[in-house]
Amino acid sequence: MESVEQILDTFPKTTEGLAGGYKSFVFQPNRLSVNSRQNLDVQNGFNYSYNLNASYFSQFSCPLRTPILGLKSLELIRATIPMATLNIPNDETVFYYYRLPNLGSDFNYIPDYTFTTARIKMVRLLPSNAYTPSSFDNPETYGWNRTFSSYQDLVDELNKAAVNDPDSVALTAAGLYTSGDITFFYDEIQNKIGFHGNNYETDGHPNFYYAVVGWRDVNLAGGQALLNTTLATALAAELAGIGYTAAPLESNGQYTLARRLGFLWIGLIGTLAGEGNDEAQSLYSNLFPSIALSQYDPLDLPWEPLYKCYADSFANLIYSTNLFLYCDVVGGGTQDTNIDERLLAVIPMNTTTLGINFGESKIPCELSKVSGEIYSLNFIMRTDTAKPFLLPVNAYINLELKLNY
């Protein structure tokens, strides 16, 4: 067996002049196969030892057995990636909505158009990277973020979440959650998901009015911050005792569960300035019971309002349509408008959840602005929204690179 010193003697003593026709039998492979199995470098931003995020990775390192010298260009020609993902990312699992009270009989029970964070309520699917069914005696009563086989399967889970949440005491105290306040439904004819408020009337007259918090609503960030603060406070109190159920919550800004479900209203982005205002008209079209078509008339009973809110589009149950792959040996040969990192390739995820994606380059695209000497490669994976593309540590990626000298 060769000693370490003998192996080291096979390496070049200098790299000067490698570009001038340097050829090597050992240090210039034309194909390079790398995989995530050998050296997972899990860095997902969580420092909590009890957090389940440590079971997932979005980046990995591949030290080479021998260095690559005199490299002029490279390209990704094949990728095998298991789509061992959820349908919905764990940071897009919260459905935010407004519940507005009426102004009373003297005003014909019209809504109180005061939109504040305090009037935002929420229903959430429990994120799988922070909650585990093992922590509960009756996990089947809660709504979980899991793989869904159909829209109806998703709606059934949402309705469990609308009735039961493991942190309901803290969430209810903060005003964010009211058990049984809304119900989701699936319309097979429209192939769309919708919801309606369950407290829209009382004693035959209007009670509460409901509206989705739009993805650019001025109060959305405040609602997300309140939810995070509430869960963090609950967690701290529980950790001081015997056990805990609360966990930190990730939010992906404008990418909410409502947007995932197809509710595309932009929301309130300014100040309502009378009925002639475009924003006011947009609000009336997204407030239920419908103000425009089902006015309450105490002289014309029973009141039969339009109270169901249908999604504008179809629900998106694709975790990410692309996997954005970055590599540290790539220079300025590519540019990504999502994020300022060294993009190697964008891989279309042309497979179903729990399937395997076999990505192949159809068009040659050699990247010439690369490191001339490579001793290891570090890869980072991101989603369509530039968030970490998380895979479980038992889902192995294999990449094949073409190298030119």
Tens of pLDDT, residues 84-121: 999 999 999 999 999 999 988 777 788 898 999 999 99
Report yes or no: 74 and 361 within 8 Å, Cβ to Cβ: no
Q: What is the mean pLDDT of the chain?
A: 88
Q: What is the pTM of this model?
A: 0.88
42/53 Cα distance (integer angstroms): 9
- Per-residue pLDDT at 158 exceeds 50: yes
Task: Give the residue-averaged pLDDT of 223-236.
Answer: 94
Residue with the bigger pLDDT between 340 and 293: it is 340
Which DSSP letter does residue 82 get? E
pLDDT of 10: 58
Task: Give the residue-averaged pLDDT of 273-283.
Answer: 71
Q: How far lies 165's CA from each of 123, 142, 162, in Å? A: 8, 6, 8
Q: What are the residue ranges spanned by the domains of the chain?
A: 4-85+321-404, 94-310
- Would you state the structure tokens that stand for residue 339, as one six-digit string? 């994020």
Task: Give the residue-averaged pLDDT of 337-358.
Answer: 91
Q: In CATH, what class is 4-85+321-404?
A: mainly beta
DSSP E strands, 102-238: 120-124, 182-187, 192-197, 201-202, 205-206, 208-212
Q: What percent of the chain has pLDDT over 70?
A: 88
Location of structure tokens 């009037």: 119
Kindly list the strands in the beta sheet with 73-82, ordered across the sheet, starting from the edge strand earlier in the chain.
31-35, 398-404, 73-82, 356-360
16/26 Cα distance (integer angstroms): 17
pLDDT of 205: 86
End-to-end CA distance of the chain: 31
Nearest residue to 343 (alpha-carbon basis) of 81, 74, 85: 74
403 φ/ψ angles, rounded to the nearest 5 degrees: -115, 140
- Per-residue pLDDT at 25 exceeds 50: yes
143/125 Cα distance (integer angstroms): 5
DSSP H or E stretch at residue 235? helix 220-239
pLDDT of 176: 93
Confidence of residue 379 (pLDDT cuts 50, 70, 90): very high
DSSP E strands, 232-292: none
23/162 Cα distance (integer angstroms): 66
265/290 Cα distance (integer angstroms): 15
pLDDT of 204: 82
Report yes or no: 184 and 158 within 8 Å, Cβ to Cβ: yes
258/53 Cα distance (integer angstroms): 24
71/24 Cα distance (integer angstroms): 11
Report yes or no: 193 and 311 within 8 Å, Cβ to Cβ: yes
